[in-house]
Amino acid sequence: MSLPSWMFKQRLPEHARSASGIDILIILATFTLVQWIYLHTLELTTERSVLLFSVLFFSYITFSAFGLYRSSSTEFMHQLIMRLTIAWFIVGLLAAFVLFLSKAAYDVSRVWFGVSMISAYIILVGVRLVSSALLAKARMQGRNIQRTVLISDSAHNSEILKRLEDNPWTGYRVAKVFSNNWSAVNDSVALDREIDQIHQYIEQQRTSGNPIAEVWIRLPLSFENLIQRISSRLQDSSVDVCLLPDTFAMQVFSGTATNVAELPVINISDIRLPVSAELFKRVFDRLFSFLALLFLSPLMLLIAISIKIDSRGPVLFRQMRYGMDGREIEVWKFRSMKVLENGDDVKQATKNDPRVTRLGALLRKSSLDELPQFMNVLQGRMSIVGPRPHAVLHNEEYRGQIDGYMMRHKIKPGITGWAQVNGWRGETDTLDKMQGRIEYDLEYIQNWSAWLDIKIVVLTVFSVIKNQDAY
């Protein structure tokens, strides 16, 4: 099947550039104003300059990673504010970390920094609340409306119409639905006649002063010829043609488009994170693991001594597992068993497993045996959040039995993951259990956001407290 190139054009929303610029101006103006009020000067010292530009840089990176510059006109406001709050808190932590590393903390006024951060946050939230409220009010009153035409051959018409009706603040209204049985129209002349009716309706609306802004096509990609004919016929109209994808089309559009010798090449299996997301995770992983090792080092030392006293063998258990892109990495854990399986015969731990030591049972139940993996994260082998790494033998066993199994290795493995906080923790002694874990792993990669990472970390803490499914 040859897909039309118009379906894969990638463009940066205009509002994204303007929104990021406004945020930068708000932060810059707030810090400057607070300095003038509190310090009675506009002159920036080297230390304050480093801090300010760190805040500006981290704000752009973090806000982008949290999706704050994606279209927010159709997003619930409480979701947007929650993501902004978490993102701004992380910006503050990163900026404070820069001060700590640069040894400039003692030369920067804590009052200036704190008041500026709080004031900027209030203004950032306020601007979004006010602008969204004004826009939603206008749309509820019938202004700033995007009128659309829906072309469909599915049973989802009522669902689409109800969603728009229940959320009028999105600003979209379906003016007309063309829901013929397109698959039954085999005659080319009859098909052109149906498409001409759509074109005529759009032209009538334009000349009457009620133009159609977008045409939504809800058809399978197998209807390629029909989609192409509709698109071609509407090229002389002032409408945007949009595709409401089915399951396969969602897989296509979540991939990446590249140009090879003027040929559009679409990678439908590419579920890698965007560059901004990878940068955020890299910074978050290094900072989180450094702080974790710093504060947990006394506990880790105590555990190491206890392991040596409890049973013979090394303190750390080292096992080869698959990392990013399927490359083998060495993963560290506190030894919790009497044996060290890292070859062609690796058996998963089971309930009341005789191989587990007395101390090991406690470590596994509390997940304290995973603490050395913070060193793996600091080394860059692993991430705080991601699909849990499996033993190499288990990877080879399941990769041929579960579709998409190896796709979980498109990102770094994690200490905790979306599957674990959703109950898929512990032994995977059946194919169905492993299938369930993989489904959550792939869902995490496809729907990644910085907010999701924070959520998983928090849920992991509660999961460990409850001691779920670990033995």
Q: Would the pLDDT of 102 be above 90?
A: no
Domain boundaries, the chain: 14-139, 145-267, 275-466
- Output the average pLDDT for the chain: 79
Mean pLDDT to the nearest integer, 332-338: 87
**49: confidence class by pLDDT, cuts 50, 70, 90:** confident
For Cα atoms 425, 427, 432, give the angle at the middle one, nearest 5 degrees.
90
Q: Would the pLDDT of 431 be above 90?
A: no
- Tens of pLDDT, residues 200-258: 898 888 888 888 888 888 877 677 778 888 888 887 777 888 877 665 455 555 555 55
User: For residue 438, what are the contacts with CB-CB under 8 A and spacing of at least 6?
Assistant: 398, 402, 404, 405, 408, 419
Residue 427 confidence (pLDDT)? 66
Rounded to whole angstroms, the Cα distance separating 54 from 108 reads: 13
Rounded to whole angstroms, the Cα distance separating 152 from 315 reads: 62
Q: Would the pLDDT of 430 be above 80?
A: no
Mean pLDDT to the nearest integer, 4-13: 39
Two tokens, residue 123: 């203004």
Q: How far is CA 107 from CA 51, 54, 111, 471, in A?
A: 11, 16, 12, 50
**Nearest alpha carbon to residue 286 among 101, 442, 465, 47:** 101
Residue 13 confidence (pLDDT)? 43
Q: Would the pLDDT of 403 be above 90?
A: no
**27: confidence class by pLDDT, cuts 50, 70, 90:** very high
Residue 391 confidence (pLDDT)? 81
| 352 or 361, which is more confident | 361
Rounded to whole angstroms, the Cα distance separating 152 from 134 reads: 33
Residue 190 confidence (pLDDT)? 77
- The class that CATH gives domain 145-267 is alpha beta
Residue 426 confidence (pLDDT)? 67
Mean pLDDT to the nearest integer, 442-465: 85
**357: confidence class by pLDDT, cuts 50, 70, 90:** confident
Of the listed ranges 93-107, 208-222, 318-332, the least confidently predicted one is 93-107
Looking only at the bridges linking them, the beta strands covering 256-260 and 263-267 are antiparallel
Mean pLDDT to the nearest integer, 24-34: 93
Highest mean pLDDT among 171-175, 290-294, 322-326, 422-426: 290-294
Residue 120 confidence (pLDDT)? 94
| Residue 92 one-letter amino acid | G
Q: Would the pLDDT of 10 be above 50?
A: no
Three-state secondary structure string covering the chain: CCCCHHHHCCCCCHHHHHHHHHHHHHHHHHHHHHHHHHHCCCCCCHHHHHHHHHHHHHHHHHHHHCCCCCCCCCCCHHHHHHHHHHHHHHHHHHHHHHHHHHCCHHHCCHHHHHHHHHHHHHHHHHHHHHHHHHHHHHHHCCCCCEEEEEEECCCCHHHHHHHHHHCHHHCEEEEEEECCCHHHCCCHHHHHHHHHHHHHHHHHHHHCCCCCCEEEEECCHHHHHHHHHHHHHHHHCCCEEEECCCHHHHHHHCCEEEEECCEEEEECCCCCCCHHHHHHHHHHHHHHHHHHHHHHHHHHHHHHHHHHHHCCCCCEEEEEEECHHHCEEEEEEECCECCCCCCCCCCCCCCCCCCECHHHHHHHHHCHHHCCHHHHHHHCCCEEECCCCCEHHHHHHHCCCCCCHHHHHHCCCEEECHHHHCCCCCCCCCHHHHHHHHHHHHHHHHCCCHHHHHHHHHHHHHHHHHCCCCC
Mean pLDDT to the nearest integer, 348-359: 72
Residue with tokens 């090879």: 260
**343: confidence class by pLDDT, cuts 50, 70, 90:** low
Two tokens, residue 248: 């396969």
Find out whether 350 and 471 touch, Cβ atoms under 8 Å. Answer: yes
Q: Would the pLDDT of 122 be above 90?
A: yes
Residue 452 confidence (pLDDT)? 87
Highest mean pLDDT among 32-41, 70-79, 377-386: 377-386
**330: confidence class by pLDDT, cuts 50, 70, 90:** very high
| 33 or 467, which is more confident | 33
State the maximum Cα–Cα separation within the chain, in Å, rounded to a whole number: 86
**332: confidence class by pLDDT, cuts 50, 70, 90:** very high
Phi (first) and psi of residue 318, to 5 degrees = -115, 130
Q: Would the pLDDT of 293 be above 60?
A: yes
Q: Could you tell me the pTM of the whole model?
A: 0.55
Find out whether 359 and 311 touch, Cβ atoms under 8 Å. Answer: yes
